Chain A
Amino acid sequence: MKSKSMLSLSIFIPIFAFVALFAIYPAIGMVIGSFSNGSHATLANYKSALQGQYLSAFATTSLLSLEGALIGIVGGGLVTWALTRSRLTWLQSTLTAVSSVMANFAGLPLAVAFMATLGTSGFVTIVFEFLFGKNLTDLGFNLASATGLMIVYATFLVPLAVILLLPAVHSIRSEWEEAVYTLGGSIWRYIRAVVLPILTPSLVGTFALLFANAFSSYVTAYAIAGGSINLIPIQIGYLIDGNVTMNLGLGDALAMLEMVVLGLAVVVFLAMQRIAGPNKRGGEGRA
């Protein structure tokens, strides 16, 4: 009996060893690194990480990520709703697949795609000028700005939201809407009293994940905005690349702070997933 349970628990050793070595060990290393200046313990790294350009980088990154998550959740929510309303199954499955592809479309290729689309000689810019006689740049549009970055982020955040929201939206049954109508309610009542309460956990969880995703975008942000927008991942990148004199302790501290923010977002996501769990569907006759 004893030998059997030893054998059975041994099946978990590889996975825990893997996580310990490749995730927890480096994370602990960074915690220690962030409190040291190479020879002895110090809080200086956090002090400098929480002031000046780094503090403002946190503010900018948080603000942009919130904005991106908001755009993602509203856009993704509408698209998901429209998808479940459309009766064309081929369109539903095609757009779901497209969402999976586009949710992973990031980095330099995405940035270049946008330069070729909305950049100064991008085709939309040219078509726009041809149609309306106005240059987008003259109208104040600049791809390498916060607005430009939001447009680019939306290209992967909206489809990501679609993928994350689809299961929850699918669990909403059309009879509920009809029931509200026969009981005397309007569509607004239906949305307020039934749809939103049922979707809230998924919406909050998805929002958290979109926020985390936007917050940790590095290559895309760097390629679009370069140094013109002060973002945390870009600051960390600088520290490693040696654009600034290599300061590992500071980099570690910035990374730790970023991980705290992301960790909170993921905890929110996991908690919401549990609330929205599989036994919260109900309603149909299961007897």
Chain B
Amino acid sequence: MLSVTNLSKHFGTHTAVSDFSLDVGESEFVTLLGPSGSGKTTVLRMIAGLLEPSAGQIHIASQDVTSLPPQHRNIGLVFQSYALFPNMTAWDNIAFPLRIRRWRAEAIRKRVDSLLELVGLSHRARFHPDSLSGGERQRTALARALAFHPPLLLLDEPLSALDAKVRQGLRSFLKDVQRTTGVTTLMVTHDQEEALELSDRVVVMNAGRIEQVGTPADIYYRPASTFTAHFIGRVNALQATVRAVSSDSVVVDWNGVLMEWPHPVNQSWSAGDTVTLFARPESVQVSPTQNPGQIPARVTHLSFSGALTNVHLRAGDTEIVADILSSQAGWLTNGAEVYVNMIPPKRAESQ
């Protein structure tokens, strides 16, 4: 559906995006996730045609649109600030792209009314943007971007201007709308939770480059780089030595304990290498007596955070954080001698 190859953008001497390639399938929901300034908006604007790439090609439905002006790309774009026209009501904002396309008045009325229904704003149709709430504006902007049945929808941090509660509600709303309309969607965000919850695939960006592309589970459990591992959630980084390599897994030695670990997605490990394993806090098991495959550790600090208790441990010279269900953490005390092991992540799903 959307195919981007070797896209780069330079502003003077500054490189905002370099060598960005991505294929997005029909009806897929893909997010660009990365810290501020990593080039997400720049990529989106180049795809929309608002910014000219320094190099690379963009194909939409196998048509080369790289030098097509935005008017002719037929892409729905929701701006971070919504960019609703203040001189038009919500209804007229949504009708705007249809009027440009010279739809018949009756068809416009039908389409706008059904969109307003879809986004739950039928009762606010006659209001101007400045008398709509943030969430209502957001939904109006979404309806406007979808009005002309664009095959591709681009969203630039669509939820970032909203408060936490509205945001949570709109997140599932957005997913519903995407599912019902089946529109191919590329969304920009710097909120990892949002990315993991909504996407079929996540593209992690850093300093203008792609760090990793994968399913939310891939990104979360099998980060391909230290950057990805640390950018998404908290993580334990463990130094280990590779002992044996098989077709899709490796055997590693961590502090004298042998573990079977999935082979990382885009690195090649061989026996004898010293490698870094990433384990999420909820993948750390803690027990009072030593089971096979566990190593001794000492509790240095406990902090209660509702459902989970964060247990800070020291094993040899490695700091480990474990998340234990609070209901099962009653026996843990500061300074206690305990035994820990890691649950290895599942193998990567075939892509």
Task: Answer whether A178 and B50 are a contact pair too, CB < 8 Å, given A282-B84, A285-B162.
Answer: yes
A179 to B96, CA, bound (A): 11
Smallest Cβ-Cβ distance to B160: which chain A residue = A285
Cβ contacts under 8 Å, A193 to chain B: 85, 88, 96
- Chain A residues 245-287 with CB under 8 Å of chain B are 279-287
Q: Is A281 touching B130 in the complex (CB atoms < 8 A)?
A: yes
Which of B18-26, B66-74, B207-215, B338-346 binds A? B66-74
- Chain B residues 38-54 with CB under 8 Å of chain A are 48-50
Q: Is A183 touching B130 in the complex (CB atoms < 8 A)?
A: no
A24 to B46, CA, bound (A): 62
Task: Answer whether A285 and B138 are a contact pair too, CB < 8 Å, given A183-B148, A193-B96.
Answer: yes
Smallest Cβ-Cβ distance to A179: which chain B residue = B83
Cβ contacts under 8 Å, B79 to chain A: 175, 178-179
Smallest Cβ-Cβ distance to B84: which chain A residue = A283
A189 within 8 A of B: yes
- Chain A residues 153-191 with CB under 8 Å of chain B are 173, 175-176, 178-186, 189
Smallest Cβ-Cβ distance to A282: which chain B residue = B130
A198 within 8 A of B: yes
Give B304 Cβ to nearest chain A Cβ, in Å. 32
Task: Answer whether A179 and B129 are a contact pair too, CB < 8 Å, given A198-B87, A286-B134.
Answer: no
A240 within 8 A of B: no
Q: Is A280 touching B86 in the complex (CB atoms < 8 A)?
A: yes
Q: Is A182 touching B101 in the complex (CB atoms < 8 A)?
A: no
A194 within 8 A of B: yes
Q: A-B pairs with CB below 8 Å: how many?
A: 96
Task: Answer whether A184 and B137 are a contact pair too, CB < 8 Å, given A173-B83, A179-B79, A283-B129.
Answer: no
Q: Which of B74, B76, B129 has the most CB of A within 10 A?
A: B129
Q: Is B71 touching A184 in the complex (CB atoms < 8 A)?
A: yes
B161 within 8 A of A: yes
Q: Which of A175, A180, A284, A286 has the most CB of B within 10 A?
A: A284
B124-158 CB contact bits vs A (8 Å, 1 = yes)?
00001110011101100000110010000000000
Task: Answer whether A176 and B85 are a contact pair too, CB < 8 Å, given A182-B75, A183-B144.
Answer: yes
B324 within 8 A of A: no
Among A175, A185, A287, contact of B163 (Cβ-Cβ < 8 Å): A287
A197 within 8 A of B: yes
Give A61 Cβ to nearest chain B Cβ, in Å. 35
Q: Which of B128, B130, B145, B162 has the most CB of A within 10 A?
A: B130
Among A178, A180, A182, A286, contact of B76 (Cβ-Cβ < 8 Å): A182
A38 to B85, CA, bound (A): 60
Cβ contacts under 8 Å, A173 to chain B: 81, 83
Q: Is A179 touching B134 in the complex (CB atoms < 8 A)?
A: no
B166 within 8 A of A: yes
A279 to B50, CA, bound (A): 29
B97 within 8 A of A: yes
B77 within 8 A of A: yes
Smallest Cβ-Cβ distance to A197: which chain B residue = B87
Q: Is A283 touching B85 in the complex (CB atoms < 8 A)?
A: yes
Give A277 Cβ to nearest chain B Cβ, in Å. 11
A127 to B83, CA, bound (A): 50
Cβ contacts under 8 Å, A279 to chain B: 130
Cβ contacts under 8 Å, A175 to chain B: 79, 81, 83
A280 to B148, CA, bound (A): 28
Task: Answer whether A281 and B86 are a contact pair too, CB < 8 Å, given A184-B101, A186-B71, A287-B166.
Answer: yes
Cβ contacts under 8 Å, B83 to chain A: 173, 175-176, 178-179, 283
Cβ contacts under 8 Å, A185 to chain B: 71, 96-97, 100
Cβ contacts under 8 Å, B76 to chain A: 182
Cβ contacts under 8 Å, A284 to chain B: 81-82, 161
Q: Is B87 touching A285 in the complex (CB atoms < 8 A)?
A: no
A287 to B130, CA, bound (A): 11
Cβ contacts under 8 Å, B86 to chain A: 198, 280-283
Give A177 Cβ to nearest chain B Cβ, in Å. 9
Give B211 Cβ to nearest chain A Cβ, in Å. 28
Q: Is A183 touching B81 in the complex (CB atoms < 8 A)?
A: no
Task: Answer whether A184 and B50 are a contact pair too, CB < 8 Å, given A194-B87, A285-B161.
Answer: no
Cβ contacts under 8 Å, B74 to chain A: 184
Q: Is A181 touching B133 in the complex (CB atoms < 8 A)?
A: no
Smallest Cβ-Cβ distance to A195: which chain B residue = B87
Q: Is A287 touching B101 in the complex (CB atoms < 8 A)?
A: no
Cβ contacts under 8 Å, B73 to chain A: 182
Q: Which of A175, A184, A281, A286 has the most CB of B within 10 A?
A: A184
Smallest Cβ-Cβ distance to B77: which chain A residue = A182
Cβ contacts under 8 Å, B96 to chain A: 180, 183, 185, 193
B79-122 CB contact bits vs A (8 Å, 1 = yes)?
11111111110000000110011000000000000000000000
Task: Answer whether A280 and B130 are a contact pair too, CB < 8 Å, given A178-B50, A285-B161.
Answer: yes
Q: Is B69 touching A181 in the complex (CB atoms < 8 A)?
A: yes
Q: Is A287 touching B134 in the complex (CB atoms < 8 A)?
A: yes
Q: Is A285 touching B77 in the complex (CB atoms < 8 A)?
A: no
Smallest Cβ-Cβ distance to B133: which chain A residue = A287
Q: Is A183 touching B129 in the complex (CB atoms < 8 A)?
A: no
> 3 tightest A-B contacts by CB?
A287-B134, A282-B130, A285-B161
Interface residues of A (CB under 8 A from B): 173, 175-176, 178-186, 189, 193-194, 197-198, 279-287
Q: Can you list 6 A-B contacts (CB < 8 A)?
A: A176-B83, A182-B49, A184-B72, A184-B97, A185-B96, A281-B130
Interface residues of B (CB under 8 A from A): 48-50, 69-77, 79-88, 96-97, 100-101, 128-130, 133-135, 137-138, 144-145, 148, 161-163, 166
Q: A283-B83, A284-B81 are in contact. List 15 more A-B contacts (CB 8 A).
A: A175-B83, A176-B83, A179-B77, A181-B50, A181-B69, A181-B70, A182-B70, A183-B100, A183-B145, A184-B97, A185-B96, A194-B87, A198-B86, A198-B87, A285-B81
